[in-house]
Structure 1
């Protein structure tokens, strides 16, 4: 855990040095900052203005609330209750859990099933970071894959219930909960009257407005092979969200092969083309989904797919270190 905290802190400091460079602060511009370890990552919120402290504390209350609802490792969380009832009964859930599952399934259909919120059995089987160098066999994967299928999830919009029809099915909101919580935190900041802020939740970044000096927020994209390196820089002008998925965030090495925590839910195995995908857009919860899906799809298919989503852009870092951007970022990435 300490290693993950350190890596997240380095990434944020690298980004913060970029967003604040050249900005002379007056007393009115001084930020209120807080950082906490929640949702298995370091979350840092920086806000400006007279209501900054109030907004930041309310933002963290949202992170804590979402964590309590969506933590599949807490047997008392709502998502655990849904998993425990798989194959036996429907479970009424909070509006936020319902919204996350519904949005995940809707986007999964558009993203060719490369993101699947029912991936829980695969996550459990691989146990990246929890089982040492364990690599599941093809037979083990074949036994689990029938349990991974978002199309099987029964979503009752009238009664707000979820039902997993097969015993052993498990929802895992790790690919949406953090981004969704960021969006909720941003809403709290805005409700408090904050006009300038930056939220960083372990690589999911969303901003409010511009920097106190009126310039756009300028964010660095971490080099996936250099924990303290920046491989690209982007000004969030016209966008407010940057979200990265990479094979460097949680992984194991065995026989010089990297096995990351991102799986292709259709095969149960890790994609082998990408090192990282960074989304530039205006929705953190969807950014979480897109970065995972595009990591699985690879550059060529992703560039075709993005034509269907105006305003959604991506920066790809391939395994050999090439940086490729979607057309909408032409001339906007350093």
Structure 2
């Protein structure tokens, strides 16, 4: 009888161990489908995992969506919706829901920042040549040229009525400071609609959105680029389970003339690039917000950035004009896994 009990106990123990082993095996980390490509004029990388088994299909659909968005927001492509709006000669134009939503958000953010964020600097951007990827076309305009271009800018020249938009004073809209962030939000929504428990990330030229924690329970480690280093040099790291992160800086498109750096972000009041920061990285729950906040901060400077961040709940790390790192308390919440 004793031997029988021992045998039964042994069988039970083996079965229990077998269950544990099976559970452990069945909970192996998800396999990520990763695709790299070019969209929005920049490098894009998407990593996606879902138990539904359709990761490749969803990621391919995301890249198709990026092409559609680029056809809306590319201000300098003659076939795009925004290009046609910019050349509508002051007439009322019915626009698509997506362009309308981004324009409304842009106007709201411009008002919130008292014009430090201004999406109507298209003619200033073209004047400097920063609307192209060709460094040979980047130039330092004359003060008179800049003054003339500024006469055709100002977010108050944009009128919105229902689903129609009118541009006054021959302004051109450039949504380069906000479109990538919006695209991140769109792709995150696509991923979650397919599978609320899916994980991965979207990276559109450094604007990053977290679909879900790495392997379902770990943070993604993200490096903050050194604005005076090489592309892979980081000055800090953060650990994100969710949310978005974006960087605005003076090191992507720039020229140096007489020892001074001029780059693709402009103070709407002067038509020149500001000298406040080398870069700012923003973390928030929204890609479009993180993108716009960084541009406004580069123009507004430290005191305004602190004020906006406190009011709106943004985490930031600044590299100021002297290379000093400044970060707020919200940022510190992301420094440990």
TM more than 0.5? yes
Deviations 1:164-223 (A, max 9, x none): 1223x1111111111111111111111221610111011100001211051122211011
Give the aligned partner of residue 79 of structure 1.
Answer: 82
| Structure 1 unpaired stretches of 5+ | 1-25
| Structure 2 unpaired stretches of 5+ | 1-26
Give the aligned partner of residue 190 of structure 1.
Answer: 192
Matched, 1:243 2:243: no
Helix, strand or coil: the match of 2:308? helix
Structure 1 runs (4+) greater than 6 angstroms displaced: none
Residues 1-334 of structure 1: pairs in structure 2 closer than 5 A: 29-49=30-50, 50-87=53-90, 89-128=91-130, 129=134, 132=137, 134-157=139-162, 160-167=163-170, 169-193=171-195, 195-212=198-215, 214-227=217-230, 228-237=232-241, 239-310=242-313, 312-330=314-332, 332-333=334-335
The TM-score normalised by the length of structure 1 is 0.86
Structure 1 residue 64, shift from structure 2 partner: 0.9
Structure 1 residue 132, shift from structure 2 partner: 4.1
Measure the CA separation in 1 of the matches of 2:56 and 2:121: 38
Aligned length: 303
Structure 1 residue 74, shift from structure 2 partner: 1.4
Larger Rg: 2
Structure 1 residue 295, shift from structure 2 partner: 1.0
Q: 1:178 to 1:332 in 2, by over 3 A?
A: closer
C-alpha RMSD of the superposition: 1.7
Structure 1 residue 331, shift from structure 2 partner: 5.6
Helix, strand or coil: the match of 1:29? coil
The TM-score normalised by the length of structure 2 is 0.86
